[in-house]
């Protein structure tokens, strides 16, 4: 039974990865970019030259026109991705990670100081004169980064677990295509049934009955051995 549970967990995790990330390199690259976001001033130099020098005006244009919001399901076909600035520019839409790295790259290209900030469900860019919002403020910060590595994680002052759960569902579950949901849970259902069947067949009672039938069949006289050829 223990072996069956291990097999079930391994197969379920493997299937979940395949169903959610048909190309697993997308996930690996996203994790790398989360640990060390790729701020690329060179990649946005032409864009930066065409924008004003006031940070709030830059933010408004980047978020509204350059990288308008789209879920990762819509922009990348996966539940979560963290692109580089160049990749986000090519996609022309994206979630908060895409918008943040493009905005940070533009500010870096213009020599404007900035800081990446992260909460449990959001990443944004802070800069001189930034106006705090309900989603982007000091009380929501889990970690921040000002060009080096992320700071040590800290417990946010403003943390509502029910709000976070709703936010996660809105980000990852609600926009998930129906076909992918069927693929994911259909595969998990098949795996669960298969492991249960394998466990049932491996039960001692079933095995003894199966072996007993096999022995009985070997002992039973065949028409040839009982009476010779007819």
pTM of the model as a whole: 0.81
Question: Region 26-51: what's the mean pLDDT?
Answer: 95
Residue whose token pair is 């930066």 = 48
Instruction: Give CB contacts under 8 A, 24+ apart, made by 195-203.
Output: 195/4, 195/5, 195/7, 195/8, 195/11, 196/4, 198/4, 198/7, 199/1, 199/4, 202/4
**CA neighbor of 67 nearest in space, from 42, 90, 38, 34:** 90
Q: Is the pLDDT of residue 49 over 80?
A: yes
SS3 118: strand
CATH dotted code for 36-175: 3.10.620
Please state the domain extents for the chain. 1-22+177-220, 36-175
Query: What pLDDT score does 223 carry?
Result: 54
Q: Is the pLDDT of residue 211 over 80?
A: no
Query: What pLDDT score does 123 carry?
Result: 96
pLDDT-above-90 percentage for the chain:
70
Query: What pLDDT score does 10 carry?
Result: 87
Question: Region 67-85: what's the mean pLDDT?
Answer: 95
Condensed to tens digits (0 to 9), the pLDDT of residues 142-174 reads 999 877 778 888 999 999 999 999 999 999 999
Banded pLDDT at 213 (limits 50, 70, 90): low
**CA neighbor of 65 nearest in space, from 88, 93, 85, 84:** 93
Query: What pLDDT score does 1 carry?
Result: 47
SS3 178: helix
Sheet bearing 123-126, strands edge to edge = 123-126, 115-118, 143-145
């Amino acid at each position: 039974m223990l072996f069956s549970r291990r097999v079930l967990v391994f197969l379920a995790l493997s299937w979940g990865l395949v169903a959610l990330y048909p190309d697993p390199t997308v996930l690996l690259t996203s994790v790398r970019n989360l640990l060390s976001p790729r701020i690329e001033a060179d990649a946005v130099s032409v864009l930066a030259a065409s924008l004003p020098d006031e940070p709030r005006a830059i933010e408004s244009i980047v978020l509204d026109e350059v990288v308008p919001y789209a879920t990762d399901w819509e922009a990348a076909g996966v539940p979560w991705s963290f692109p580089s600035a160049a990749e986000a520019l090519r996609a022309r839409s994206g979630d908060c990670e895409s918008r943040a790295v493009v905005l940070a790259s533009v500010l870096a290209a213009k020599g404007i100081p900035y800081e990446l900030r992260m909460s449990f469900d959001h990443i944004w860019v802070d800069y001189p004169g930034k106006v705090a919002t309900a989603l982007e403020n000091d009380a929501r910060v889990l970690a921040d980064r000002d060009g080096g590595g992320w700071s040590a994680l800290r417990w946010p002052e403003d943390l509502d677990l029910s709000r976070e759960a709703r936010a996660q569902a809105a980000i990852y579950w609600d926009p998930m295509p129906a076909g992918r949901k069927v693929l994911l849970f259909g595969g998990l259902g098949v795996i669960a049934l298969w492991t249960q069947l394998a466990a049932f067949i491996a039960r001692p009672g079933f095995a003894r009955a199966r072996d007993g039938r096999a022995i009985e069949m070997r002992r039973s006289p065949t028409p040839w051995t009982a009476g010779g050829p007819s």
